[in-house]
Copies of this chain bind each other. A is one copy, B any other.
């Protein structure tokens, strides 16, 4: 904790002498060495050249390619991105011409001598070692895939981090046995990369099973938000195995026919597996930094300040290998995302070149991210409810299910939104969105609001672009602000889906106020139905005790709860309505190993209510 606080306080000190990291000699040109030639490293290199024509800039890249489109790699598997060349954004030759960069691919930096200010590099083709002096050093080595211990050495296992990995995957996919291609693909890991791999393998015609150790898909989201996305994948043909992990294999390589090979899962079941894709996370490539005595953060990444400077002022670190201050907690975290890597690389170049008005500290990390699967998108920013509650943070939770644009204009799609708010400060702690249209827009607006320190209530007043094909006069973002200000003002007392069973068990009366036509969608067991329009006349039918009221999405129930409250009833609104409750049931069903999850869940719920 002491180290983290050191990091925090250091990150708030501006660098007073922007050239301080280089002991410039007027006789020789300054040399900047950059380790890693993809997102962060190459952004630093090209920006530095634009700022300083004279400097020597040497880029070492362990792989064969620089500046490739890492986030596009999975889409070549299906042919969605048809051309492999489209993924190669720059070549060493092109970078030499345009930016006079000395780019050395297939060359790995294996040691840093901080006292001598040199790095030792190994040519991965010849094995030759060489020494390269630096005035400033930028570390952007990225991260390496974490492996499944149970599959160590298994030739079927692929990871996907660079173009060479992709080439190996494409070669494996071209293998045929008895004139048929390999068919059974197993993807390990239900994060963004795992989902993208599953989508593209399925699109290529493979049979795909996704194995996720945790009880839900997409751990950046909360379970009830991830559930509809997971169901969408199942509907498309992906077999999901949640709450399971690979513990071993049978017959690996023992048979001439690889289709005989199977994986053993922790639940005792087996899976056929011709090809295995491991996407269970990455670990920062911080070994040479650690060996050189640089401070390492609590998550194993290189510790840096807000200027991306490591514990050695001549060495900077960006990208997947570096830890960044988290926007919500202020603590160091990893952030293996392309956007921040690019921006931080550029910021480091500003600091190194000592550009006036540049070199300002980078803001803390929100971790905004998005993933798609066949037209459905899931996105998140900041912290989720699970993480906040596990830290004991007080949190106000809001669910909504608005339409992506005006309902009367064709093509409107339902969004599911979740907002997490600090009840003390009204600041936004996180948000999640799932839907077919407008997910990226809403998360981007919330990310911008979080960056700027807007309160959740201020979302109500944002002036967003409205025409009926693009949004609503009351945009989903405005509605979140309304919901939040109602909650903050005590106008909308709510109950979360996971609090319902306990409330009902304690005697609360469950009231369903949906329009009669909406009941076909499903019922919460034990609810009594009175449409909101009949409540003024029929409220005397209600008991004197506590009432939980729900509608489809929470809005009609808000009207009902206001009405009943004004008439003297003790009433709370089920946040997110029937749809959020149903999503939570789906999450439980997906996590359960039962072959008939729906029946199991209904019984379980009824059991809790009776």
Q: A: which residues have CB within 8 A of B?
A: 39, 50-54, 69, 71-72, 75, 80-81, 86-87, 89, 94, 97-100, 192, 196, 337-343, 346, 355-358, 362-363, 365-372, 377, 379, 381, 406, 408-410, 439-441, 443-445, 447-449, 451-454, 458, 460-471, 473-475, 477-478, 482, 485, 488-491, 532-533, 536, 558-559, 562-563, 566-567
Q: Provide the residues of chain B in CB contact with A445, threshold 8 Å.
A: 444-445, 448
Closest-CB distance, A470 to chain B (whole angstroms): 4
Determine the distance from Cα of A365 to Cα of B464 in the docked complex, in whole angstroms.
11
Contact A453 B452 (CB under 8 A): yes
For the complex, give the distance between the alpha carbons of A80 and B411 in Å.
11
Q: Are B339 and A468 in contact (CB under 8 A)?
A: no
Since A358-B485, A369-B467 are in contact, a sample of 20 more A-B pairs with Cβ atoms closer than 8 Å, ordered by chain A residue number, is: A50-B563, A51-B491, A54-B566, A69-B408, A72-B409, A81-B410, A98-B532, A338-B466, A338-B473, A341-B473, A342-B473, A368-B465, A369-B466, A370-B465, A370-B467, A440-B471, A444-B444, A447-B464, A451-B454, A451-B458
* A362-B461 in contact given A452-B454, A567-B53 (Cβ < 8 Å): yes
Question: Which B residues are CB-close (under 8 A) to A338?
Answer: 466, 473
CB distance from A151 to the nearest CB of B (A): 27
Name 14 A/B residue pairs within 8 A (Cβ), A-sorted. A51-B562, A71-B466, A72-B409, A72-B468, A97-B533, A192-B467, A339-B466, A357-B489, A358-B485, A369-B465, A447-B462, A447-B463, A451-B458, A452-B453
Q: Are B53 and A337 in contact (CB under 8 A)?
A: no
Closest CB in chain B relative to A246 CB, distance in Å: 27
A337 to chain B, nearest CB (A): 7
Known pairs A453-B452, A454-B451; A368 contacts B406 (CB<8 A): no
Distance of A441 Cα from B464 Cα, bound (Å): 9
Of B346, B408, B439, B567, the residue contacting A72 (CB under 8 A) is B408
Partner of A488, one of B53, B357, B489, B533: B357
Which one of B75, B443, B465, B471 contacts A468 once the chains associate, using CB atoms below 8 Å? B75
Interface centre among A94, A448, A567, by most chain B C-beta atoms within 10 angstroms, is A448
Q: Are A86 and B408 in contact (CB under 8 A)?
A: yes
> With A358-B489, A452-B454 in contact, do A464 and B368 touch (Cβ < 8 Å)?
yes
User: A367 — which chain B residues lie within 8 A by C-beta?
Assistant: 463
Interface centre among A366, A474, A488 (most CB of B within 10 A): A474
Q: Decide: A559 and B98 in contact? CB cutoff 8 A.
A: yes
Q: Nearest 7 A-B pairs (CB), nearest first? A: A452-B452, A53-B566, A370-B465, A338-B473, A441-B441, A357-B489, A50-B562
Determine the chain B residues whose CB is within 8 A of the CB of A452 once the complex forms. Answer: 448-449, 452-454, 458
- Residues from chain B with a CB closer than 8 A to the CB of A532 are 98
- Residues in B whose Cβ lies below 8 Å from that of A567: 53
Pick the contact of A406: B69, B98, B482 (CB < 8 A).
B69
Contacts A52-B566, A71-B406, A355-B489; is A340 near B467 (CB within 8 Å)?
no
Residue of B nearest to A411 (CB): B80
A85 nearest CB neighbor, chain B only: B408
List B contacts of A470 (CB < 8 A): 370, 372, 377, 440
Residues of B within 8 A of A75 (CB): 409, 468
| A167 → B minimal CB distance (Å) | 17
- Please judge, given known A-B contacts A444-B441, A563-B53, whether A339 and B464 are in contact too, CB under 8 Å: yes
- A461 x B363 contact (CB < 8 A): yes
B447 in contact with A372 (CB, 8 Å): no
Within 8 Å by CB of A408, from B89, B473, B485, lies B89
Enumerate chain B residues within 8 angstroms of A460, measured Cβ to Cβ: 343
- B contact residues around A485 at 8 Å (CB): 357-358
Provide the bound-state CA to CA distance between A475 and B444, in Å: 11
Name the residue among A358, A367, A463, A474 with the largest chain B CB count within 10 angstroms. A463
Which B residues touch A489, using CB under 8 A? 355-358
